[in-house]
């Protein structure tokens, strides 16, 4: 084996690892960019209607939102540079086709940044309803930016809107067909719902931990209920959308689907495999639970539904089936656990209009943020690893798109270092704010102040000149 081949393979591995690491980190922040502003606005609206605790939550959450946006801006910028530097074969050949959504994403990004600044500045400076309205563009811009990026990713899974000549040149570009490709219709709603589940569960889990530590006041209860209700509404919708997405993969990406379900021989009556490891040479499955006919039934509503197997695919065109399958199982099991929590919460709320009182519910929901992130990451592994060895499905192999610049492991190390520094700084800032808020709440409790004695519109009042803030700031220490 030649040294040049080994170097090329090593660079490809470094590029893929760097892309996986940076995307895996940034996608969590992207979820907060999409969904957290909406959660903040829900609390803000309740505050406008007279709920002082909700208004205080909205104010504090808006500061966390700004920190997360700043961290996400850095991680997203690194990703955008990576796309051109690591994968010149992709951008050089197909950049004119699927690059348009990235231009729209930049517009949405700057719009979101502008209105986050206005929203933060508007506390105490704008009338309540006008201030609330300045938050709506944040939600819309986050949704638009996500649509743009997921549209580009959907195009990589379902390329369309161009004609490729035998010499590899691209002509007859149709921007709308590229943007609204077949992948958009299931990937975009799947990502939107995932964002609301991740943001809702992560925020709620923080307050679940606080309640387990004895902070059972209304402030913490509301801090749990608002985001977890959002996630609980999204979860059953996500299972429906996810089912439709799996059927789309079955129709349009049969090789990826075979890897997801560990199907070796093409045919009907395919079992659903839970867990298990497939021998890539023989197709024999070890340590898995096989439920007869279920994979065929789920794919086409009949046990006679034929599923294409990996044995009919050349070995060089097969994705790493075991990674894809196990990631698919992890996504399903983590999502099912979250759905069970949402059903528990919804049933008790429907019957008694309150949270479940048992500590087991709080223990379970304290893990919901971690489970949501695990499900998110596993889903992206299915999407990206399942497309291999193609970076543009059926058109361009990943090995043909990577740069030949060399030294990619050093760039990978640099990207990791940047992410560690930026994310650590973000965590330190958020923890510092949280500790200050806890200290202020403890001082207010010792002074005998109650949340419902605070004027809910105080944060919107002008700052007094020449003296400390009054209203909610002075009484609850929200500085």
Reduced to 3 states (helix: H, G, I; strand: E, B; else coil), residue 291 is: strand
Residues 71 and 214 in one domain: yes
In this model, does residue 73 exceed pLDDT 50? yes
* pLDDT tens digits for range 309-357: 999 999 999 999 999 999 999 999 999 999 999 999 999 988 888 888 8
Residues 199 and 300 in one domain: no
Residues 243 and 286 in one domain: no
Looking at 386, 417, 451, which one is the last position of a domain? Answer: 386
Looking at 330, 351, 386, which one is the last position of a domain? Answer: 386
- Return d(Cα 475, Cα 385) in angstroms, integer: 52
Task: Count the Cβ atoms, other than its own, within 10 Å of residue 104.
Answer: 17
Residues 47 and 20 in one domain: yes
In this model, does residue 4 exceed pLDDT 50? no
Residue 356 within a domain:
yes
What's the confidence (pLDDT) of residue 270?
92
- Return d(Cα 398, Cα 178) in angstroms, integer: 20
3-14 average pLDDT score: 64
- Assess whether the previous peptide bond of 389 is cis (omega < 30° from 0): yes
Task: Count the Cβ atoms, other than its own, within 10 Å of residue 448.
Answer: 7
Residues 30 and 147 in one domain: yes
Domain total for the chain? 2
What's the confidence (pLDDT) of residue 148?
92
Of 216 and 48, the one with more pLDDT: 48
Q: Give the pair of three-digit tokens for residue 98.
A: 């699927």
Q: Quote the percentage of the chain above a pLDDT of 70.
A: 91
* 39 closest CA partner among 171, 162, 202, 185: 202
Residues 354 and 321 in one domain: yes
Residues 35 and 108 in one domain: yes
372-401 average pLDDT score: 94
Q: Give the pair of three-digit tokens for residue 375.
A: 């499900």
Residue 394 within a domain:
no
58-69 average pLDDT score: 95
The model's confidence at residue 458, banded by pLDDT at 50, 70 and 90, is low
Residue 398 within a domain:
no
Q: 170-171 and 272-278 as β-strands: parallel, antiparallel, unpaired?
A: unpaired
Residue 395 within a domain:
no
* 48-51-53 Cα angle (round to 5): 120
- Return d(Cα 140, Cα 108) in angstroms, integer: 8
In this model, does residue 268 exceed pLDDT 50? yes
Q: 390-392 and 396-397 as β-strands: parallel, antiparallel, unpaired?
A: antiparallel
In this model, does residue 478 exceed pLDDT 80? no
What's the confidence (pLDDT) of residue 406?
80
* 324 closest CA partner among 392, 388, 250: 388
Residues 161 and 216 in one domain: yes
The model's confidence at residue 184, banded by pLDDT at 50, 70 and 90, is very high
378-402 average pLDDT score: 93
- Return d(Cα 466, Cα 260) in angstroms, integer: 65
| Stated pTM of the model | 0.90
Residue 84 within a domain:
yes
What's the confidence (pLDDT) of residue 258?
94
Residues 32 and 177 in one domain: yes
Q: How many CA atoms lie within 13 A of 241 on its CB side?
A: 18
The alpha-helical segments, DSSP class H, found in 253-320 are 254-261, 294-300
Contact 397, 389 (CB under 8 A): yes
Domain that holds residue 263: 254-386
* 423 closest CA partner among 70, 105, 124: 70
* pLDDT tens digits for range 192-215: 999 999 999 999 999 999 999 988
Choose the weakest-confidence range: 12-21, 216-225, 446-455.
446-455
- Return d(Cα 23, Cα 14) in angstroms, integer: 14
As a whole number of Å, the end-to-end CA separation of the chain is 64
Residues 297 and 279 in one domain: yes
Residues 431 and 468 in one domain: yes
What's the confidence (pLDDT) of residue 462?
42
Contact 325, 385 (CB under 8 A): no
Residue 393 within a domain:
no
- Return d(Cα 134, Cα 115) in angstroms, integer: 6
Residues in Cβ contact with 375 at an 8 Å cutoff, skipping those fewer than 6 apart: 194, 197, 330, 331, 334, 335, 338
Q: Quote the percentage of the chain above a pLDDT of 90.
A: 67
In this model, does residue 78 exceed pLDDT 50? yes
The four Cα atoms 24, 26, 29, 35 give a dihedral, to 10 degrees, of -80
* pLDDT tens digits for range 132-169: 999 999 999 999 999 999 999 999 999 998 988 888 78
Four-residue CA torsion sign, 134, 136, 137, 142: positive
Residue 465 within a domain:
yes
In this model, does residue 285 exceed pLDDT 80? yes
Q: What is the mean pLDDT of the chain?
A: 88
Residue 391 within a domain:
no
Residues 98 and 194 in one domain: yes
What's the confidence (pLDDT) of residue 209?
94
């Amino acid at each position: 084996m030649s040294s040049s081949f080994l170097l090329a393979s090593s660079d490809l591995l470094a590029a893929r690892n760097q892309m996986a690491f940076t995307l895996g980190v940034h996608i969590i922040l992207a979820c907060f960019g999409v969904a957290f502003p909406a959660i903040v606005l829900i609390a803000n609206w309740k505050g406008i209607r007279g709920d002082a605790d909700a208004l205080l939550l909205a104010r504090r959450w808006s500061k966390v939102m700004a920190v997360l946006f700043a961290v996400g801006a850095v991680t997203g910028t690194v990703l955008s540079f990576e796309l051109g530097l690591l994968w010149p074969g992709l951008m050089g050949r197909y950049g004119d086709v699927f690059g348009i959504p990235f231009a729209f994403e930049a517009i949405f990004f700057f719009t979101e940044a502008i209105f986050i600044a206005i929203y933060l500045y508007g506390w105490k400076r704008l009338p309540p309803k006008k201030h609330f309205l300045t938050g709506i563009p944040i939600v819309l811009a986050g949704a638009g930016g996500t649509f743009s990026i997921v549209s580009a990713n959907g195009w990589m899974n379902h390329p369309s809107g161009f004609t490729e000549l035998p010499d590899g040149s691209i002509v007859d570009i149709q921007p709308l067909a590229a943007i609204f490709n077949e992948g958009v219709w299931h990937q975009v709603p799947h990502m939107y719902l995932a964002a609301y589940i991740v943001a809702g569960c992560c925020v709620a889990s923080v307050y679940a931990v606080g309640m387990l530590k004895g902070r059972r006041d209304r402030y913490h209860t509301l801090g749990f209920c608002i985001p977890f209700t959002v996630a609980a509404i999204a979860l059953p919708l996500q299972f429906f959308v996810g089912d439709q997405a799996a059927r789309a993969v079955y129709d349009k990406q049969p090789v990826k689907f075979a890897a997801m379900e560990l199907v070796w021989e093409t045919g009907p009556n395919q079992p659903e495999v839970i867990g298990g490891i497939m021998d890539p040479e023989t197709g024999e499955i070890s340590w898995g639970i096989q439920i007869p006919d279920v994979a065929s039934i789920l794919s086409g509503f009949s046990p006679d539904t034929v599923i294409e197997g990996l044995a009919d695919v050349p070995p060089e065109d097969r994705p790493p089936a075991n990674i894809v399958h196990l990631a698919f199982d992890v996504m399903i099991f983590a999502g099912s656990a979250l759905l069970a929590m949402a059903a528990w919460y919804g049933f008790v709320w429907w019957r008694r209009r309150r949270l479940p009182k048992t500590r087991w519910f709080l223990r379970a929901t304290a893990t919901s943020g971690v489970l949501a992130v695990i499900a998110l990451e596993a889903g992206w592994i299915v999407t990206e690893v399942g497309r291999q060895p193609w970076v543009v499905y059926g058109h361009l192999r990943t090995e043909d798109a990577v740069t030949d610049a060399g030294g990619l492991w050093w760039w990978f190390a640099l990207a990791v270092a940047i992410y560690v520094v930026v994310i650590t700084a973000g965590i330190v800032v958020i923890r510092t704010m949280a500790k200050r808020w806890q200290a202020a709440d403890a001082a207010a409790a010792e002074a005998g102040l109650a949340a419902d004695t605070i004027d809910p519109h105080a944060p919107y009042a002008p700052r007094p000149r020449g003296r400390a803030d009054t209203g909610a700031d002075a009484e609850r220490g929200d500085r």
